[in-house]
Chain A
Amino acid sequence: MDSRGFLTGSTAAALASAFTAQASDITLLLDGDVNGGAGPGHLRLTAIDGYIVTADRNLITSEAPIISNRIDDQPFDRRNKRPLWAVFPYDHATKFRSETIFPKAYGSLSRLQFWLNKK
């Protein structure tokens, strides 16, 4: 994820390969490939219990959201948040401490979907 707040193809690919080992399923979708109602430049995360987190591209910055696969440098507990956990830096800004952000923080995410912008 680059600092301009949207994903480029190469960063998305790097991200995908980094998490392939643990994520059960990472899907990359290109612009125009409308799937599940999400728009271009959006991120969609799906948890193992079927919970879906969508993040508008405006929300995606260099600091948020954080997609983590560890906590305190330790792999997640096998029954807790594994494989990925989307969290927000709540202490950095009050805008992250809102009713719209809290539901977007979710653990046990097993599927990441990106709608990339065409260059």
Chain B
Amino acid sequence: MNGHNRVSAPQLSVFRQVFSPVLMVLLSLAFIVLTYSATQFQAQLEQSRAAPSDIRIWTIAQTEVEHKNLLLAVSKLKSKQETVRNQPVPAIDIANLAGQLSIAFDVYYSRIGVFQFVVGSEDISDDARADLTTLIQERDRLAEMFDNMDPVDPTHLLQFETALETLETLNRRVVLDALAFFVSKAEALRNDEVLMWKKFSRVSFALVMIMAAALYIAVTLHRKMVKQLVQIKAKTINMKLVYEASMQAVVVTDNTGQIQLINSAAERAFGYTQAEAQGRNIAEIMGPGHCLPRHHQGMQRFSETGTGASIGQGIKRVTSLRRDGTEFPVELSITSETDLLGKEIFIAFIRDVSVQIAYEKNLRAARDEARRHAAAKTMFLATMSHEMRTPLHGLLASLDLIVDNDLDGPNLELVKTARNCGLRTLHQINDVLELTQIGEFKEPPTPFVPARIVSGIMDELRALAQNRGNNVFLNVTGASSEEIWIGQPQTFARIIYNLVGNALKFTENGSVTISLAFSSQLATTPRLRVIVKDDGVGISTEDQAHLFDLFYTADADQTMVQRTSTGLGLPIALAGVHKLGGKLDVESALGVGSTFSFEIPLKAPQDNQCLSLQTSGTLQRVGFGLCCLVVDDNDVNLALTAQMLRRLGCDVVSCESGEKAVSAAAKQAFDVIFMGLNMPGGMSGTEATSKIRVQEATKNAPTTAVILALTADKTFDTSKALTMGGMDGVLHKPVQLLELQQVLSRFSPRNIKGAAPSDPAPAEMAGNDFSDLFDLIGKPHSIRLLNGVLDDTDAALKAIREQQADAVDHLHRATGSTAAVGLLELSQHLRDAEDLASAGADKALLALLATIETCAKQANNQIKHSIEQCSI
């Protein structure tokens, strides 16, 4: 149950497993050895005790005594007989003495027999044995003498006595030899005993030492265990205190779910006391009835596989049951543990989250309402903005006209201020619209080339970058920069435009680096990571918190660019990144620079999707792979049409004269040729078409080019074109992308024959802010083109004023240019002027001049505003 107990458990078990058996073996060994040596000692002792040493000594010594007794008995009888000779003595006394002599002899005889028995089996010396044999022989001889003698006869008695005395020396020697033998034997035996005792003492000492060691170990062990037990107990008590004091309900069960312990928090939460809950199944008393089957399944699975739906899976929100039957939401976390006894237990941590859930519910409701309000506000703002844009355009145009008039200094300043304010308002409104659009506009998955979109945006922003002395770099890693992916190109472009524009605005004389990193290791979910890094002023930590707030700009009046910024760029980028399923991150430090990064999922295109690549919006690359030739004497027109065709996926060759077109067509076969009709001072379009057709016929080409007339003359229609030198149709200037697209799809080489395009309605470009042009060919091209248009117009006006001879050509050029960029009114006036000039009506031409100048001035302002706007 706790870490500390787990630490001490192995130590205890080490003692149990290692020291206890060692101790047992040691003690058993000591006991066995001690018992064995004691038994041996006892046996040896008994053996030595069994030696009949003392009685033998006595028996041997007694031989000497019996010999003396015999001599004494003989002596007594002899002296009695001597007494008898002198005075009468009763015969009975003699007989008694004779009887005693007989007993004494028998005893002596028998004693020697015993002596022989005692000594005979012993390892006595040969001399002693010889002496003993002699003694026995002498005894037997003596017995024969004794048996044959008359004890009453003094002569016999004397003979016997003499023989007995003769035997004394031998008798003594035999006795002393035997005594010496037994004494030395006894001494050897005592030495053995001493050795035996010493051995036993040594063994016993060793055993006592072993016992002492064992005792020491046992005592140490005991002390350690007691100490650990105290520690464990203390820790257990601490744990218990913590567990009881816990605000969270804790329920401990065995592996079948039977409750073993609940803490006081659990008692309070569920309404059971520890005693009531113990032994009951946690799910049965604390889980709602409808959850029981699932609980049993889960337990079953856990016991089989070791993984359960709830066990060890972190915090789960479930419904629980109080004792009174009310259900309440809880956060449940179950862990599986092994207790000190090695049994599996489950510990359930349960937190009543009813209050939290109520709060969450309120919060969610509040959030939803806030969201609704925000959406309504955004909607309102979008509508208002849209409605405001049109009058604002009018306001700005009017202001421009006022500036045109000669105003005195202060008034001019006021008008300029009003114009700047109006411009900024327009800008802000445009951004708001974009922001709302990006959130609402559902962009379908479309093939696109991210790197190409980024380079386009870099081109567009080049003027701004140069203006602020910045360099812009692009790094592409992980895929080729031309690789096609499926995504949402418009949204992607808005994000990049705003991030890069933002970086440029806040960087001066520095660099902005855009990195595109494709990670497609996982073929199924390729991802694109985009990093926009600048080394500009950077963003303080406080400002970072508000970075994505609407209309927020850091330190708003610090620089010019910041004053002109609406503060919507980053919110637009953020909304876009969210829309693409990414997360916009920012890292920044004041004075170091900022790094904005995001990562979005992409899809790899299927093979057949490559052909329908879109470069912008719903524009389809209908001209993918088509070779086109554009022929026009007007630079602007030529560049514009060529650029549009490139964006539609065509390979384009441009020629500014009919001659060049013929020679280009001779070198290369084109699928479609856009032929300018009226090209003064050279080969006309009709003539060039005829020559090209002749060339085709001569070369016997398998396919022929589709040739479309390119003219501003609305009276020149398809039927007219078909009659002209082999043309297939007509396209009216100013050329518009959508028109071009329709014409291309209609005249694609596969279905070219018999197809007659209907005349498209002329484009309405009122209130022209050139945004379409910008969108179409990118801002740098547009700016270049627009500047070209201004130059052409100025040149034409100058030619009228100075009544130059080539005024017609200048007017023709200006007519084409202005029409190409949608300045239709001006174009119309210029066309009229061109007609007057070619008719030589100089007076009428001068009269028209003022009108043209007014119109040109207006167009001039319009173009300059647009250029200025796009540089911001």
Q: Which residues of A pack against B, CB within 8 Å?
A: 48-49, 78-81, 94, 97-99, 102-103, 107-108
Contacts and interface: CB of A to CB of B under 8 A. Distances in A.
A81 B110 contact: yes
Contacts of B713: none
Nearest to A78: B106
B664 to A, nearest CB: 142
Contact of B110 (A97, A102, A103, A108): A108
Nearest to B143: A79
Contacts of A97: 50, 52
Given A79-B109, A79-B143, A103 B103 contact: no
Interface string B55-66: 100100000001
Contact of B49 (A79, A98, A103): A98
B106 A79 contact: yes
B49 A99 contact: yes
A91 B828 CA distance: 160
Contact of B103 (A48, A80, A94, A107): A48
B107 interface: yes
Interface string B96-114: 0000000100110110011
**Residues of B contacting A: mostly:** helix
Nearest to A99: B54
A66 B5 CA distance: 77
Contacts of A94: 46, 50
Contacts of B53: 99
Contacts of A78: 106
Main secondary structure of the interface of A (DSSP, over half): loop
B101 to A, nearest CB: 13
Contacts of A81: 110
Nearest to B113: A80
A49 B52 contact: no
Counting chain A CB atoms within 10 Å of each CB, the highest count among B55, B109, B110 belongs to: B110
A94 B52 CA distance: 12
Contacts of A108: 106-107, 110
B310 to A, nearest CB: 80
A103 B57 CA distance: 11
Nearest to B53: A99
19 contacts: A48-B103, A48-B107, A49-B103, A78-B106, A79-B109, A79-B110, A79-B143, A80-B109, A80-B110, A80-B113, A98-B50, A99-B49, A99-B55, A102-B52, A102-B54, A103-B55, A103-B58, A107-B110, A108-B106
Nearest to A104: B55
A102 B103 contact: no
A99 B52 CA distance: 6
Interface string B31-61: 0000000000000001001101111001000
A79 B70 CA distance: 14
Q: Which of A78, A81, A102, A108 has most B Cβ within 10 Å?
A: A102
A49 B54 CA distance: 19
Contacts of A80: 109-110, 113
Contacts of A98: 49-50
A98 B114 CA distance: 18
A49 B67 CA distance: 13
Contacts of A99: 49, 52-55
A39 to B, nearest CB: 23
Nearest to A98: B49
Contacts of A102: 52, 54-55
9 closest A-B pairs by CB: A97-B50, A79-B109, A102-B52, A102-B55, A49-B107, A79-B106, A103-B55, A80-B113, A80-B110
B871 to A, nearest CB: 132
A94 B46 CA distance: 8
Contact of A107 (B46, B114, B143): B114
Contact of A48 (B50, B55, B106): B106
B236 to A, nearest CB: 62
Contacts of B143: 79
A35 to B, nearest CB: 23
A5 to B, nearest CB: 23
Contacts of A79: 106, 109-110, 113, 143
Nearest to B50: A97
A21 B240 CA distance: 100
Contacts of A103: 54-55, 58
Contacts of B109: 79-80
A74 B109 CA distance: 19
B108 to A, nearest CB: 9
Interface in B98-139: 103, 106-107, 109-110, 113-114
A47 to B, nearest CB: 8
Contacts of B58: 103
Contacts of B114: 107
A42 B66 CA distance: 29
A96 to B, nearest CB: 9
A97 B107 CA distance: 25
B372 to A, nearest CB: 116
A49 B58 CA distance: 14
A85 to B, nearest CB: 11
A118 B53 CA distance: 39
Nearest to B58: A103
